[in-house]
Amino acid sequence: MKKQFLKQLQEEQISTSREKITTVQVNNGRLCNLACLHCHVEAGPKRTELMDGRVSNRIFELIDASTGIETLDITGGAPEMNPHFRWMVSEAAKRGLHTIDRCNLTIFFEEGYEDLPEFLAQHKVHIIASLPCYTSDNVDKQRGRGTFDRSIEGLIKLNELGYGKPNTSLQLDLVYNPLGASLPGAQAELECAYKKQLFEDFEIEFNNLFTITNMPIKRFARQLENWGQLEEYMTLLESSFNPHAAKNIMCRELVSIDYLGNLYDCDFNQMLELPPTQGERTIWSIESFNELAKEEIAFDRHCYGCTAGAGSSCGGSLV
């Protein structure tokens, strides 16, 4: 029998509402130079959906009208492929926001993006980069042939600019995703292994490793179906429910915005087009992000992916 995530939260007497908004997460499009196996956005080189200037401008109008916004988290696709990306970064810097670029590292080697590392360093952008493993075979299986070597080149370039180095303000974090239908290992142990191997092999340094559970939606869900493992994986997630992780899920302080300006409780809900409990809302139907505080969060079965084991969020494990 399928479990109901919302009912389980209620039984555990865990809050089902948002607390406040500190992070505005913007998915500015689905265009990407890669088409990764685990990508819940189903991004790729042939996608055409991109946020336009009107939407980007409105987001900053709402940030200016709100209190307590600390972070602008820009994702995609490859977020840098949106023509307004650099403008958004510059506007966030003017406001003193902590700006995150969820980068795939290989974008640095695409035509027209060669100076991107310097731009990110100049604006002190926090880079969170996907590197599913520290061995080439596993990375290339998930992300495409040659991706590992280009990712390593990208990390070396970032290190040269000061990213990930001690005593600098340039934050470089890596993201680990399991290769298949399993939960990630212990974050602290994997971080030690990553740091040891990447330094021994390439003298690469970074700040933190985030372990993120593969979400059973979109492209990865179809792959699980092809393997005949979707229900098995869902059972694993449900049986691994951790109430301590559930108390810290990222949707409690975050709003997710798609390329059209629609509002969601998280990026995963966005990809499933699961609207907030209050109904469909857009950046034009509110006057500030503060209006979203204390609202009930929209949950569904995929939410077990964020609360299984040590938990999973855009910032790694939750406990």
Q: What is the pLDDT of residues 172-213, one digit of tens each?
A: 999 988 877 899 999 999 999 999 999 999 999 999 999 999
The matching CATH number, chosen from 3.40.1120.10, 3.40.50.170, 3.20.20.70, 3.40.50.300, for 5-307 is 3.20.20.70
What b-and-e string marks burial along 129-154, b requiring 16 or more CB atoms within 10 Å of the CB? bbbbbbeeeebbbbbbeebbebbbeb
In contact, 297 and 303? CB cutoff 8 Å: no
d(CA 28, CA 257): 8
Beta-carbon contacts of residue 302 (< 8 Å; ≥ 6 apart): 215, 216, 217, 268, 272
d(CA 273, CA 258): 10
Q: What is the pLDDT of residues 124-138, one digit of tens each?
A: 999 999 887 776 665
Handedness of CA 143, 147, 152, 157 (dihedral sign): negative
Dist CA 209 CA 212 (whole Å): 10
Q: Are 130 and 177 in contact (CB under 8 A)?
A: yes
Q: What's the pLDDT score for residue 264?
A: 97
Give residue-wise pLDDT tens across range 203-221.
Answer: 999 999 999 998 898 888 8
Q: Does position 140 have pLDDT exceeding 60, yes or no?
A: no
Tell me if residue 286 falls in helix, strand or coil: coil
For residue 70, the tally of other CB atoms under 10 A from its CB is 12
Using pLDDT thresholds of 50, 70 and 90, give the confidence band for residue 161: very high
Domain range list for the chain: 5-307
Alpha carbon 273 to its chain's center: 17
Q: How many residues does the chain have?
A: 319
**pTM for the whole structure:** 0.93
Average model confidence (pLDDT) across the chain: 92
pLDDT in the model for residue 36: 72
